[in-house]
Amino acid sequence: MMSYTRRMMMNWTGFCHRCGQRSPVHTMSHFSTELICPACGDLERGHPEYGKAVTAELDALHVGDFTFQGIGWPRPTATQEGDNEPFTF
Ligand SMILES: [Zn+2]
């Protein structure tokens, strides 16, 4: 519970912490402590590491690690060669 309380204490300023787009709504990242817009949330759910991120978060909570920061957001296409602009929002 503390983890979610901590996250909720982060102020949503109306802009996605990840892509910077203005959004009337937000969700919490499972990869990090960022508050992200629905579009970024969809990207997370489609990420091959999504299940791993969710599992890691739950495992941390189970062992009482309420300061778990997530596994970090690995840009899905960052490993593709010659692609320096992997995202278009
Ligand atoms: Zn976003």
pTM: 0.70
Q: What is the pLDDT of residue 35?
A: 94
Q: What is the pLDDT of residue 15?
A: 95
Amino acid at 46: G
Residue 4: its H or E element: helix 2-9
Cα of 30 to ligand 1 centre, how many Å?
Answer: 13
Q: Are 45 and 27 within 8 A, CB to CB?
A: no
Structure tokens at 39: 């579009």
Amino acid at 17: H
Residue 72 pLDDT greater than 90, yes or no:
yes
Structure tokens at 79: 């490993």
Cα of 1 to ligand 1 centre, how many Å?
Answer: 25
Q: What is the pLDDT of residue 10?
A: 62
Cα of 63 to ligand 1 centre, how many Å?
Answer: 30
Domain boundaries, given as residue ranges, for the chain = 2-62
Cα of 40 to ligand 1 centre, how many Å?
Answer: 4
CA distance linking residue 89 with residue 87, whole number of Å = 6
Mean pLDDT value of segment 76-87: 51
Q: What is the pLDDT of residues 11-49, one digit of tens each?
A: 789 999 999 999 999 999 999 999 999 999 999 999 999
